[in-house]
Amino acid sequence: MTSIGLGSATPLRARLAALSAHLLVALVALVAIGGATRVMEAGLACPDWPLCYGTLLPGRQMNLQVFLEWFHRLDAFVVGVGLLVLAAVSCWCRRQLPALVPALSLAAVALVALQGTLGALTVTLLLPFSVVTAHLVTALLLVALLSACTQALWLAPRQATPAPTAPQGLASAWPWLTAGVALLVLLQCALGGLMASQWAAGSCLASGDGCGWLWAHRLGARGAGLAVLALAGGGLWWRPQERPLAALAAALVLGQIALGVVALRLSLSMPAVTVAHQIGAALLVAVLAALVVRSRPIAGPAGPILRLQAHG
């Protein structure tokens, strides 16, 4: 049986792994704040950009809506600075790190630049649904990149090691299956963002308008949910080293289904349920990105943070 025990870590990798993990938490929080900003209709609470009412801290205009939009921008700025530091150190010390880390960190910086542009456009163009959706999808892509980067820093450089009990064809296809399920979930999140940014679910429940978006989201949720549950089942059965993440993915999918049902039963009258649904989506994307990295070989220098030990 295979067990994972803590091994010695190089200080650089340990610190970068901690930074990447903290940035991942901050990104999930940013998605949550963005969701709260949308459901509280606070997207234009600060009418200008990048300042808010022409100042860094709009004390006189401060209320719940202004605070949500202002704090959303502040969190985004902090995350952006952290990602710049992560990318700079990763590129400078690339010979001491897994080969995947500099590439992921640079891609994250590029997405941050795009995200800043989209954030400005959401205000200056008065919340067009296409830009709002792109803003959400870019945030989820950043979550996926940071989750993958964190895993690459924590895992030992290794070759892909499929479980011997898995069928040979499935073992070789597992990395592609994992990536495919992750992409399917991202597409489902984009569909949910398109529905939400047009307030289609509320319109459908209130007047019967926009029900096509709600129907498409529910249909897509079934397919994506079944795909994640099948992947989690395979991970629990064939890949012992991935069982905790596989179980978490299954739990998140079931939680997402429950939150979606509750939100519709309550006619979207509880913003906390809608925001929790968006947080669940971000966490699911993070878990699937981690599984994608774990399913593939990790190239890099010696000095792993995790040591795999085989016991008979």
pLDDT tens per residue, range 4-38:
333 345 788 889 999 999 999 999 999 999 888 88
- Which residues lie below 8 Å from residue 182, measured CB to CB, with a gap of 6+? 144, 285, 288, 289, 291, 292
Together in a domain, 62 and 145 = yes
Domain boundary among 127, 157, 187: 157
Together in a domain, 235 and 186 = yes
pLDDT average, residue stretch 280-297: 92
Residue 234 lies in domain: 161-298
pLDDT average, residue stretch 47-51: 89
Distance between CA atoms of 119 and 113, rounded to whole angstroms? Answer: 10
Residue 306 lies in a domain: no
Q: What is the pLDDT of residue 268?
A: 83
**Ranges 86-90, 198-202, 217-221, 242-246: which has the least confidence:** 198-202
127 pLDDT tier (thresholds 50, 70, 90): confident
pLDDT average, residue stretch 80-109: 94
Quick one: what percent of the chain has pLDDT higher than 90?
54
CA dihedral (108, 112, 113, 118) in degrees, to 10, reads: 130
156 pLDDT tier (thresholds 50, 70, 90): low
**Residue 146 structure tokens:** 């940071």
pLDDT average, residue stretch 279-299: 89
Domain boundary among 157, 181, 215: 157
Record the pTM: 0.87
pLDDT at residue 307 greater than cutoff 80? no
Helix (H) or strand (E) holding 130: helix 129-154
Together in a domain, 190 and 108 = no
pLDDT average, residue stretch 240-248: 91
Residue 309 lies in a domain: no
Together in a domain, 30 and 142 = yes
162 or 2, which is more confident?
162
Distance between CA atoms of 209 and 12, rounded to whole angstroms? Answer: 55
Q: What is the pLDDT of residue 210?
A: 75
**Ranges 79-83, 186-190, 264-268: which has the least confidence:** 264-268
309 pLDDT tier (thresholds 50, 70, 90): very low
Domain boundary among 118, 137, 157: 157
Distance between CA atoms of 46 and 67, rounded to whole angstroms? Answer: 9
Together in a domain, 294 and 165 = yes
- DSSP assignment string, 198-235: TTHHHHHHHHSTTHHHHHHHHHHHHHHHHHHHHHHHHH
Q: Is 175 left (phi over 0), alpha (psi -120 to 50) or beta?
A: alpha
Angle separating helix axes 243-265 and 200-207, nearest 10 degrees: 40
Amino acid at position 21, single letter: A
Residue 185 lies in a domain: yes
Helix (H) or strand (E) holding 309: strand 306-310
pLDDT in tens, 165-214: 556 666 678 889 999 999 999 999 999 989 988 888 888 888 888 788 88
Work out the number of other CB atoms within 10 angstroms of the CB of residue 135.
Answer: 22
Together in a domain, 117 and 203 = no
Q: What is the pLDDT of residue 86?
A: 96
Residue 181 lies in a domain: yes
**Ranges 10-24, 115-129, 154-168: which has the least confidence:** 154-168
Q: What is the pLDDT of residue 241?
A: 84
pLDDT average, residue stretch 123-129: 88
Amino acid at position 126, single letter: L
Residue closest to 175 by CA, chosen among 288, 304, 21: 288
Together in a domain, 191 and 171 = yes
Residue 1 lies in a domain: no
Residue 217 lies in a domain: yes
Together in a domain, 28 and 150 = yes
Together in a domain, 131 and 166 = no
pLDDT average, residue stretch 301-311: 40
pLDDT at residue 162 greater than cutoff 70? no
Distance between CA atoms of 219 and 262, rounded to whole angstroms? Answer: 17
Residue 200 lies in a domain: yes
pLDDT at residue 286 greater than cutoff 90? yes
Together in a domain, 125 and 223 = no
pLDDT at residue 157 greater than cutoff 60? no
**Residue 174 structure tokens:** 């597992």
Together in a domain, 116 and 165 = no
Together in a domain, 81 and 182 = no
In this structure, is the dihedral angle defined by the CA atoms of residues 58, 60, 66 and 68, taken in order, positive or negative?
positive
Based on the structure, what is the number of domains in the chain?
2
Provide the β-strand partners of residue 306.
6
Provide the β-strand partners of residue 3.
309
Residue 272 lies in a domain: yes
